[in-house]
A and B are shown apart, each in its own frame.
Chain A
């Protein structure tokens, strides 16, 4: 399966310290190459490289996220770093 490069733009109440390490851990668990390109309390942008099904799974995981974070939406676009 060909790898895809996508950016996940996550919006919500994301200020908890747990979120960025959680993202890194979950991406690694899925075997995705990921880089956090932007992070503040309301938006996190992650660039991901890997099979599309696993990027789908990353989106599903992030929709849940850690308990102290509320993800409202996730937009997916081709990664600008592609």
Chain B
């Protein structure tokens, strides 16, 4: 498919870590368009034909858009909460649809099978009932009251706990996970996945976290999250089809996939279809 008039063109996307821009800039692409992220004050993002794109710097990343976003970048209030450690995990390239990367992040049921003995373990495989809604005012997908047993929910966890989760999709290729904070009951740890669509079947994934954890070394936090995501990558790169089906076709979504179903419905409603398979094959 082409990206002409594709509504996703008017969204914000992460394209670099602001703190780690090389002196010569970062040459990359966004939705098939070559771009360069140039360091400086201000940071610039330019296309090969010399067009300056809109940018914003938030959550440690440079964000840009090929189009004209109607809204500012979504807010994560926890990013400004005193006492949190903001962790820039880096980038992982994944040969899959950017929408697939987000959809996989929303899938709780895979924890015991892909992140065995870390984020899940047999026989604790059942996903209990939870609530999913599309919040009309914010125009975001939210899943709440999600509970799952985890042997090691976070780097700072010392044993198995039942972890509470909330999932949020504020943009087609960005998702925010709120989970029980082992170090500070009553607060949520924030783990995000910001996905840069390079093409419809290739993406750079930029995880980022805002945690209450004064104990764990930064490198350990980064390695823990990278390990989790590298486990996901091997699954993502072998999924068929590579594009995310909006028509379930041969896939059989079940009630445990309610968040994924809501996400796909939200994509369909907004015609956010870059990286989607429209007709089942």
Interface residues of A (CB under 8 A from B): 22, 26, 29-30, 53, 56-57, 60-61, 63-67, 70
Tell me whether A61 and B268 are in contact in the complex, defined as CB-CB below 8 angstroms, given that A67-B247, A67-B278 are known contacts: no
Q: What is the size, in residues, of chain B's interface with A at 8 Å between Cβ atoms?
A: 18
* Pairwise interchain contact A30-B247, C-beta atoms closer than 8 A: no
- Please give 9 more A-B residue pairs, beta carbons under 8 A apart, in addition to A29-B250, A60-B254: A26-B248, A57-B252, A57-B254, A57-B255, A60-B257, A64-B246, A64-B261, A65-B247, A67-B247
Interface residues of B (CB under 8 A from A): 246-248, 250, 252-255, 257-258, 261, 264-265, 268-269, 278-280
- Could you write out 22 A-B pairs with CB less than 8 Å apart? A53-B254, A56-B254, A56-B255, A57-B252, A57-B253, A57-B255, A60-B248, A60-B253, A60-B254, A60-B255, A61-B248, A61-B252, A61-B253, A63-B265, A64-B246, A66-B247, A66-B279, A66-B280, A67-B268, A67-B279, A70-B268, A70-B269
Q: How far is the CA of A29 from the CA of B279 in the complex (A)?
A: 17
* Pairwise interchain contact B246-A67, C-beta atoms closer than 8 A: yes
* Pairwise interchain contact A30-B252, C-beta atoms closer than 8 A: yes
Contacts of B248 in A (CB 8 A): 26, 60-61, 64
Which residue of A30, A57, A60, A66 has the most chain B CB atoms within 10 A of its CB atom? A60
Contacts of A65 in B (CB 8 A): 247
State the majority secondary structure of interface residues on A: helix
Which of chain B's residues has its CB closest to A26's CB? B248
* Min C-beta distance of A64 to chain B, whole Å: 5
From A30, A53, A60, A66, give the contact of B261 (CB < 8 A): A60
State the majority secondary structure of interface residues on B: loop
Q: How far is the CA of A70 from the CA of B261 in the complex (A)?
A: 13
Which of chain A's residues has its CB closest to B250's CB? A29
* Pairwise interchain contact A64-B247, C-beta atoms closer than 8 A: yes
Contacts of A60 in B (CB 8 A): 248, 253-255, 257-258, 261
Q: How far is the CA of A8 from the CA of B267 in the complex (A)?
A: 24
* Pairwise interchain contact B269-A29, C-beta atoms closer than 8 A: no
Which of chain A's residues has its CB closest to B258's CB? A60
Contacts of A57 in B (CB 8 A): 252-255
Q: How far is the CA of A15 from the CA of B43 in the complex (A)?
A: 49
Tell me whether A29 and B252 are in contact in the complex, defined as CB-CB below 8 angstroms, given that A64-B264, A70-B269 are known contacts: yes
Q: How far is the CA of A67 from the CA of B248 in the complex (A)?
A: 10
Contacts of A64 in B (CB 8 A): 246-248, 253, 261, 264-265, 268
Q: How far is the CA of A53 from the CA of B248 in the complex (A)?
A: 17
* Min C-beta distance of A29 to chain B, whole Å: 7
Which of chain B's residues has its CB closest to A66's CB? B247
* Min C-beta distance of B238 to chain A, whole Å: 22
Q: How far is the CA of A65 from the CA of B246 in the complex (A)?
A: 8
* Min C-beta distance of B169 to chain A, whole Å: 16
Q: How far is the CA of A67 from the CA of B268 in the complex (A)?
A: 8
Q: How far is the CA of A67 from the CA of B264 in the complex (A)?
A: 11
Contacts of B261 in A (CB 8 A): 60, 63-64
* Min C-beta distance of B133 to chain A, whole Å: 13
Contacts of A70 in B (CB 8 A): 268-269
* Min C-beta distance of A25 to chain B, whole Å: 9
Q: How far is the CA of A67 from the CA of B265 in the complex (A)?
A: 10
* Min C-beta distance of B247 to chain A, whole Å: 5
Contacts of A30 in B (CB 8 A): 252
